Amino acid sequence: MLKKKQGILLVNLGTPDAPTPAAVKRYLAEFLHDYRVVDLSRWLWCPILHGIILNTRPKRVAAAYASIWTEQGSPLLAISQQQQKALQAKLKYDGYDIPVELAMTYGNPSMSAGLDALVAKGVEEIIVLPLYPQYSATTTGAVFDQLARVIAKRREFPAITFIRDYYQSESYIEALANSVREHWQEKGKGNRLLVSFHGIPQRYADNGDPYPEHCKATARALADKLELEDRQWICSFQSRFGKEEWIKPYTDVTLEQWAEEIERVDVICPAFSVDCLETLEEIQVENRDLFVEKGGQELSYIPALNDRPDHIEMMAELVRQKLNS
């Protein structure tokens, strides 16, 4: 029996097309309208979203994006494209000459465009790799939903293989540990390591989302790999939005407390496969300023894995497991 031609679809969250209020408004409208992200009744949420948030938030968020925008555009998109090219090259080197395309759950390139690009290359089976190590309904679940919506409009579509998570992958933990060791060697070692993940509402976790436990497992595995004592690190959660309680401890509150106790803190954000607004602006600027304002001396951010060779090798390993299954 002939083996189906396979292809890879890398998927990340998304980004505005430009650092402007209009582009940010379009992006936020799509992102915040997803029931996976905000699960409130549409009768309650839509008036808040369209009447308040989309009329007030885009200008401020656009300014934040403008502060990190590069000549190549959005860091999240530019680095994701680098990952796409590097993964395809790595797989080809390993003997797998298969196409790799990129898609975003929200914004461009769209899920539909990514699927079309693979189909145009004759792909009959797609391995979908969401770039979220820790599963959450708000991220990986949203990828699955978006893909299903695209497929629902088609008479025929390729076979789909879905990589759900890799939060305890040995090669993932090793790549994180390598990035920390290299940072310490270059910048020196801080008094403590803050392992900060994007947060979700506590209610989501109470309703069964395994994300907090996945994050804690990743943080613990990283600390063990680095041979850190419990007093030398903590797992925290950032980027909360709205008034309801989110999973704790909060990153900003932790930094405020630590500023009274230590001089220097290192921060790594393992949930982000590429550097983006939440790392380059929220951690490296906002939270750094907060830490210093409250009495600390230096917050040193350890970059995301981005297109590091060991990160690309980890992706290739995940893909090879599916190609050979």
Annotated binding site for Fe(2+): 198, 278
- Torsion region of 144: left, alpha or beta (phi above 0 gives left; psi -120 to 50 gives alpha): alpha
Asked if the peptide bond before residue 109 counts as cis, ω within 30 degrees of 0, the response is yes
Which residue is it, tokens 């293989």? 161
CA angle 316, 150, 81 (to 5 degrees): 35
- Torsion region of 14: left, alpha or beta (phi above 0 gives left; psi -120 to 50 gives alpha): left
Enter the DSSP assignment of 250.
Answer: B
Please give the full DSSP string across 116-158, using - where no structure is assigned.
HHHHHTT-SEEEEEES-SS--TTTHHHHHHHHHHHHHT-S---
Inter-helix orientation angle 170-187/309-323, to 10°: 180
Asked if the peptide bond before residue 212 counts as cis, ω within 30 degrees of 0, the response is no
Name the 3-class secondary structure at 185: helix
- Bridge partners of 130, per DSSP, are 11
